[in-house]
Structure 1
């Protein structure tokens, strides 16, 4: 059978083989594992946009079978309690063809124990005049991040099963852009997952007040990912580099010392205590004398308050041990964490504690230990946050907490090599972007001349 060649300009299919279009398009995006189909001159993989365009062109150019319209793609999602056969029939296919399709698929997957929500695409040709069931031309579904199964009709009308799999490569990718909307939305448009962006937020919480970010603020993220031949990201790795508000932080794995982040000079950027132990909150009350909102008279406020909705996660401000997790008078649900060097932090008015948080539990900086609430003497949901030094409360804003370590010797040399690699990637991406932005301007200027 003649194979579909995506590099040709025209698409023609024999009337009896309208399904070849669906199969041929699948072959563009996937590496077919059948040995007999392997060849040294296979066309190079295409990006998803090109694949979608070719699929549309092939279906549009496919010859209709006698008495049927040209095939069209129908997206189907299996409903709760529905069988695979019933889902295929919902695409308009006759019962006997649906049974044949499911029987053929059974040679490559479990078609009985399927989960609701499974999606597949059915290429069907409707009868002219809309009388009678549609004819199944092809069917494809993804069985994994880089694998799929395709059914298509051969010249004799039989359904042919193919299992296909893409090669997956690991790479470092650069996402550089500006904030328009939220940081998470802006980063997602560039391929960063919420997990990667969340790592960035925690990383910069030592240095940046996220309440002050503005539209147009630039940012750069470098992170690992696993990507298929067609450009589909199937998994993301670690955040290797982040740049925001003039700050640049690099991920570095110290020999025997775990993974930490450092600034450009090799100084550990991990402050002893977080500036803000709750994401996206606004400071509603500072440390010092104030008129108490419930008692009605001036009284020393021995911490700072952050306004946030009930259930907002509260993070441990630093590494330490939980010494109290209990109800404490007007403080309501209260957690106190003891850090090194005589430092302690306290968190009050909590709605509930995080799983496993109890007296004696060790916690890491940035770990969720509780959730914002309004327990105790409180007028609304907020976090009351305190910092203690040698048994006395101090102003969390002005407290001079210890700084991080600085790399030296062979560790510093290894860090500089890693830093240089990251900088080359970022510079290359910036140059590519500038050339792309300049191309339209150059074209316009040429036409003007």
Structure 2
């Protein structure tokens, strides 16, 4: 009995030891290979096509873009996107058009009209959005001066400025100086004008603020820009307040030279002496021609030996006649009114002519008179009550013109203000 109990006790101890003994550690799992993350699939690269064109004579935006494959419906969408921003009826010869497409769809349209004028239409989602590109343009006031060696045009070109300066100067003084007959070697000029600059480049000129021509035949002529107190329109006045504007211009062109005067002459085509009932101005084809005064157009069309011709009747009984135009200006027609300095046509050689020139004639009471002998009074001067204000306004310009020292090279350009 005792032995049986002892055996049971030993068995219990063995079982307890077995239960409390540490179990062997489970084998570590084998490492799994690391699979790198796959990159997201790339969209196929888009291809773009760019086409450009310059606007040609007599083209519309539809025909210009049509040359580079733009359909009418797409052109209409471009025009609609720029509605209120740009009027496509104003496109000019030489304007640059550029279209960027992808998969046949418009991405970008660009219209470049000069160094600081650009318009764009860009695709944004499902819409076309138009905008005008902004450029930083700075305004300077410059004084330009020189001495004539041959002509005013050549003298201004020697200053390094653009031809527009010469034209603006002649425009301002057209009532006082005949730039075909009056200039002499040694005459001097000064002009104070606004100039707009973009990245060091002149992009355009603004208003002429003051101008002076000191000539051996005409003496010293000075004019200053000042608003007309009645109309508010900017006009030009002499130092004493007298109007620079006259009822009639001295000449109908800015620059040319007289090739034949009024009177008897040997006709170059008919080959006999014939009364020349006007003045011929030699100028390049396409040179613009002004109406010398306000009036009503009595004839605008082809008229035999005179070729393309315009005649204008004026209020004081005079009639001015312009012949041999290469083209009559748009909008000029019989019965229409024209203002002084309106461009009525362009120099040519239609009709009986041996070369491009303007035949200019004037009638009084139905009879031809010599245009070069005509003298006309100026328009109304500033009222006396306005003179103190005018004198104060032009004083800075008077100082600029009065203190000028011509450079040894006989021409100079000086920046005088922002």
TM-score by length of 1: 0.54
| Equivalences for residues 32-431 of structure 1 within 5 A | 81=51, 113=109, 144-146=134-136, 172-178=141-147, 183=152, 187=156, 193-211=162-180, 213=183, 217-225=187-195, 236-245=205-214, 246-257=220-231, 258-427=233-402, 430=404
Aligned to 2:26: none
CA distance in 1, matches of 2:166, 2:50: 33
Give the whole-Å Cα distance in 1 for the aligned partners of 2:314 and 2:173.
21
Q: CA, structure 1 residues 247+378, in 2 after alignment: closer, same or farther (shift >3 Å)? A: same
Distance 1:198 1:240 in 2: 14
Q: Alignment partner of 2:264: what SS?
A: strand
Asked whether the 8 Å contact 2:301–2:328 carries over to 1, the reply is no
Aligned residues: 284
Alpha-carbon offset, residue 225 of structure 1: 4.2
Q: Deviation at 1:250? A: 1.2
CA distance in 1, matches of 2:319, 2:342: 16
Secondary structure, counterpart of 2:395 in structure 1:
helix
Q: How far apart are the structure 1 equivalents of 2:354 and 2:140?
A: 51
Verify the 8 A CA contact 1:287 1:301 in the aligned structure 2.
yes
Larger radius of gyration: 2
**Can you list the C-alpha shifts for 1:370-412, whole angstroms capped at 9, x where unaligned?**
1122222223322111112233221111123343322231222
Quick one: higher RCO (CA 8 Å, sep 6+), 1 or 2? Answer: 2
Q: 2:313·2:320 contact (CA, 8 Å) conserved in 1?
A: yes
How many Å separate the matches in 2 of 1:234 and 1:118? 8
Structure 2: gaps (5+ residues): 1-48, 53-106, 116-132, 215-219, 409-418
Consecutive unaligned residues of structure 1, counting only runs of 5 or more, are 1-78, 83-110, 120-142, 147-167, 435-449
Aligned to 2:91: none
> CA 1:415–1:332 in structure 2 vs 1: closer, same or farther (change >3 Å)?
same
Q: Taking structure 1 as reference, are residues 279 and 116 closer, same or farther at Cα in structure 2, changes over 3 Å only?
A: closer
Conservation of the 8 A alpha-carbon contact between 1:353 and 1:371: yes
Q: Say which SS state the counterpart of residue 397 (structure 1) adopts.
A: helix
SS of residue in 2 equivalent to 1:341: coil
Structure having the larger proportion of residues in strand: 2
| CA displacement at 1:431 relative to structure 2 | 7.0
In the aligned structure 1, how far is the partner of 2:244 from the partner of 2:112?
46
Q: Deviations over 1:58-80 (max 9, x none)?
A: xxxxxxxxxxxxxxxxxxxxx97
Q: Is the 1:286–1:305 Cα contact (8 Å) retained in structure 2?
A: yes
Q: What is the root-mean-square deviation of aligned Cα atoms in Å?
A: 3.7
Distance in 2, matches of 1:390 and 1:117, equals: 48
